[in-house]
A and B are shown apart, each in its own frame.
Chain A
Amino acid sequence: MIITKQKPNLLKYVENYDRIFIIGCGECATVCKTGGEEQVEALSKILGDRVIGKIVIESPCNVKFLKKDLKPSLYEGAKAILALCCGIGAQTIAEFTNKEIIAGLDTLFMGEVGMKGKFYEKCRACGLCILYETGGICPISRCAKKLLNGPCGGMVDEKCEVSNYSKDCAWVLIYKRLKKLGRESELEKIREARDWSTISQPGEITLGD
């Protein structure tokens, strides 16, 4: 899931627009309560008659859904589109509509949806997954220094220096998990310098290639 948060100064961004069309997201932003029906409704109330229309698209990051549900007649008269979805959705909408886009959310991370409204970052889309070697715990996203040979000297009593010792050190988690799985030998191996070229350029793939 893509985890988002509403921009704290969201209203400032739309200050100068009088005809606004609001688009929400039926998937991730709904779960995060940042761009679902409720939030679209609430913002629309605040902006009052400056809003010319609104819609929640099933997933605005998917062109197929935009084609199906986002008819030009809906947003044609808008000066700007306020996108309550992640940065991917906002860009897809911008390209699709050719309108001025205001991204109303900050896209935070890809995360697990935990209980009680908690979200945890779990992957950075590094392009070379090593979960198998690390007991199913991702050091790229969960170690603040994305170390492949941790833990670092910042680990104290199983916690990480970066969170002021409130969060678990990913490498202690990895160590414990590997031990439990009887795979200590993984801890004896040096994990070599990795190839970051996988994420140092814009990604693009074609199904079937």
Chain B
Amino acid sequence: MKRIFSDFMRALNNNSFVFTSEIEPKKTVNVEGIVNIAKKLKNYVIACNITDNPRAHAYMNSIIASYIIQKEAGMETICHMTVRDRNRLALISDILGAYVLGIRNILAITGDHTTMGDNPSALPVYDLDSTQFIKMVRRMIDEGVDLAGNKINGEIKMHIGAVGNPNANPLEPEIYKVRRKIMAGAEFIQTQIVFDLDKAKRFIEEINAPPPYVLIGIFPCNSYKMADFIDKKIPGISVPAEYKEELRRAEGFKDKINEVNIEYFSEMIKELRKTTRASGVHIMTIKYEDIVCKIIENVKSIMN
């Protein structure tokens, strides 16, 4: 029988259609902002991802931020951990510490390269890659030993997941890699943002491995400008022309922009639910958390 240590995993395991969202701690010692976002999202998503130095920018520690959010907002977290910034010693001690702080879901991340970040002279670590990290955590949980086989005192009860990219071109090496992560012990996959339903479908079909649960990443844009920026400036992600056009027509009217997003993504979610074995969606936004609640509200009917 599958051992379940978190609400997130329980929901996945019950075959509920699951919603998660994402919060980004910043270069700040002020936690009010992230706690408030978490409080807003709490009644809509089952858990929230907490990013770990995204885009190689040095921000508040994701484990500490996850702990604060769980404690102050009562929201379960999926704590990101990148292998870019710490070697296996630090990864092991962070897993031990994260568990003690009540964190029950970890998402293993490779991490954007240091040269792309806000301290580009930093030495990138990558002692382990994300697959090896997943395998290590798996053994810490299942066998109670660290990477070198040293015994851990006490039990670690948490879940480990991985990232996948349905936009990858070519897709095949990405699929091989995701399958290896699953083989290593990843229990769930959360994907990069996808706008194109077919890409999401194909990704899910190709993985074709026993659960893990796949959550497709989506990104409602709060303006035409944002959608256009993603389309043109974020490599590998294209934004459908119809969606962009609708945003362009709604430009300047907040309610209309909301409507466009609610309609577009509700439709996509319904399709995913109906035609794929996706376990849920992971909704990411930038300064647009309200839409997460609105979309989920609208598609509630398809949840069970």
Contact = CB atoms under 8 A, between A and B. Distances in A.
B169 A149 contact: no
A88 to B, nearest CB: 22
A156 interface: yes
A195 to B, nearest CB: 10
B168 A155 contact: yes
A172 B172 CA distance: 9
Nearest to A165: B235
Nearest to B183: A190
Interface in A40-88: none
A152 interface: yes
A151 B124 contact: no
A154 interface: yes
A148 B174 CA distance: 13
A188 B236 contact: no
- Please classify how large the interface on chain A is, using the bins under 10, 10 to 19, 20 to 34, 35 or more: 20 to 34
Contact of B176 (A162, A165, A175): A175
Contacts of A192: 132, 135
Interface stretch (B59-67, B110-118, B246-254): B110-118
A160 to B, nearest CB: 9
A161 interface: yes
Contacts of A161: 112-113, 116, 235
A144 interface: yes
Contacts, number: 92
A188 B176 contact: yes
Contact of A187 (B113, B170, B176): B176
A171 interface: yes
A134 to B, nearest CB: 12
A117 interface: no
A8 B65 CA distance: 44
Interface string B166-206: 00111011101101110110000000100000000000000
A31 interface: no
A146 B170 CA distance: 20
Given A156-B169, A193-B136, 14 more contacts: A144-B113, A147-B126, A149-B131, A149-B177, A151-B173, A151-B177, A153-B165, A153-B168, A155-B174, A172-B173, A187-B176, A189-B180, A193-B127, A193-B135
5 contacts: A149-B177, A161-B112, A187-B176, A188-B179, A191-B132
Interface of B: 84, 88, 110, 112-113, 115-116, 124, 126-132, 135-136, 147, 163, 165, 168-170, 172-174, 176-177, 179-181, 183-184, 192, 235-236
